[in-house]
Structure 1
Amino acid sequence: MHDGKKNVKPVVARIWRGRVAADRADEYADYLYEHGIRPLEEKALGVQLFREDREADSEFITISYWESIEAMSRFAGDDPTRIHHLPRDPEFLIELPKTVQILAITASSGRTGWG
């Protein structure tokens, strides 16, 4: 979380999903963290990476938290739902996602730091 934004609460979440063949999941996890998550750590209020391993594939979900759509757009461009694929995504992903999901945060509690 940004030092200057510790007291800023997120109002929107940007959710990206992608699936990778099971035998490439560990390699993609490392790649995604270095090239996808680290840049978000610099710009977003917070970011989480989730992984579900299944028999044939693994699904990765990235959720980044933002103080406004405008702040998100400064990172993602004029259309914050537009995907910015990482250079090696076509090599790893079973299919390239076309959009991300943007949700308003209407309640938060627990140990997220925002409750």
Structure 2
Amino acid sequence: MVIRQWSGRASPGNRGAYPAHFRQNVLPALRGLPGFRGAQLLEREAEGLVEFLVLTRWESMDAVRRFAGPEPDRAVVEPEAEAALVAFDREVLHYAVVDEAP
């Protein structure tokens, strides 16, 4: 199992735009991909902005590459997401799951 980590930041006045995009566009698209195992969207206030942390779970790095392409460390950010955010990570981090508890 692989966790893919990405974050973006929004202005407080536009707090709901990225979560709406995530629910309406990102999740439906991800659910159709082989090897996708789930996602979490987390939120916190930081330095006057709203930070969103997205953690997606994949069965393998091969599954990640099927989603992200030949450069899996490059973020996949749709124009609608870019419009909802004031800043976002251009690269992502991948972690191998060593242990997990329910």
TM-score, normalised to structure 1's length?
0.77
For 1:93 and 1:55, how far apart are their aligned partners in 2?
15
Structure index of larger Rg: 1
Q: Which residue of 2 aligns with 1:97?
A: 89
Structure 1, unaligned stretches of length 5 or more? 1-10, 111-115
Asked if the contact 1:40/1:64 (under 8 Å) is kept, the reply is no
Asked if the contact 1:41/1:47 (under 8 Å) is kept, the reply is no
For 2:42 and 2:55, how far apart are their aligned partners in 1?
8
Please report the RMSD computed on the Cα atoms of aligned residues, expressed in angstroms. Answer: 1.7
What number of residue pairs does the alignment pair up?
Answer: 100
Higher relative contact order (CA 8 A, sep 6+): 2
Q: Which residue of 2 aligns with 1:66?
A: 58
1:28 Cα shift?
Answer: 2.2
Per-residue CA deviation, residues 55-92 of structure 1 (Å, 9 max, x unaligned), is 72211111111111011101110111111211123322
Task: Name the one with the larger strand percent.
Answer: 2
Where does 1:4-19 land on structure 2 (aligned, <5 Å)?
11-19=1-9
Q: Which residue of 2 aligns with 1:78?
A: 70
Greater alpha carbon shift after TM alignment, 95-104 vs 45-54:
45-54
Greater alpha carbon shift after TM alignment, 87-96 vs 12-21:
87-96
For 1:33 and 1:74, how far apart are their aligned partners in 2?
21
Structure 2, unaligned stretches of length 5 or more? none
